[in-house]
Structure 1
C-alpha cells in the first residue's frame, strides 16, 4: 500500500527525526496531495505532545511508518519537510516530499 489520493488510515505512527523516534497513537491518516504540480504526502497525526510537534516543525527531514492493529501498512522514504499545520480538528498535518539527502538528517 502506498499513499495516493485515497487516504490510508492507521492507529500508530513511528516518526523518525534524525535518530530521534517519536510515537503517535490514535486516528492517523496519510494521503498523497498535488500542489502546484508537485506531489507531496500528508501525514495527519493526533497532536497530543507539544514537544513532539516542535521537534517535527524544526526538522528538515523525517521518515515514518504507519501501522494498523500491529501490522505495518507503509514505510516512507526519507522525506524533506515542506510544511506543518493544524487541521480544523486540531490534528498536526505534516507535509513532505522524497529527498535524495542521506539518512539521518
Structure 2
C-alpha cells in the first residue's frame, strides 16, 4: 500500500516539480547591494576601456605628428617623443586597471556579466 502511494505521488508530482524547476531561474531574487556593486564595477570598467581607447587615439595622432614634423624642428620633435612616452605609460596603467577591475568582477561573482 505504501509503495503504491509513493509511486502514485512520484508520477503525479513529477510534472509539477519540472515546471517549478523551469521557473526557478526567473524567480531568483538577487540582493540589491550585489546588483549595485556589480553595476558600479561594470561602469568603472567601461569608463577605463573608453579611457584606454582615447589614449590609443592620442598615441596614433602623436605618431602621425612625429612623421610630418620637419627634421629641423628639434624641440618640437623632442616634445612629441616625451609626450609619446607619457601616453604609453598612461596606456599601460589603464590596461592594468582594466585587468584588475575584471579580476574584481570575477572574484565578487557578479552574475550575468560577460567580459
Using structure 1 for the length normalisation, give the TM-score: 0.19
Higher CA-based Rg: 2
Higher helix share: 2
Higher strand share: 1
Kindly indicate whether structure 1 or structure 2 has the higher relative contact order, using CA contacts under 8 Å at least 6 residues apart.
Answer: 2
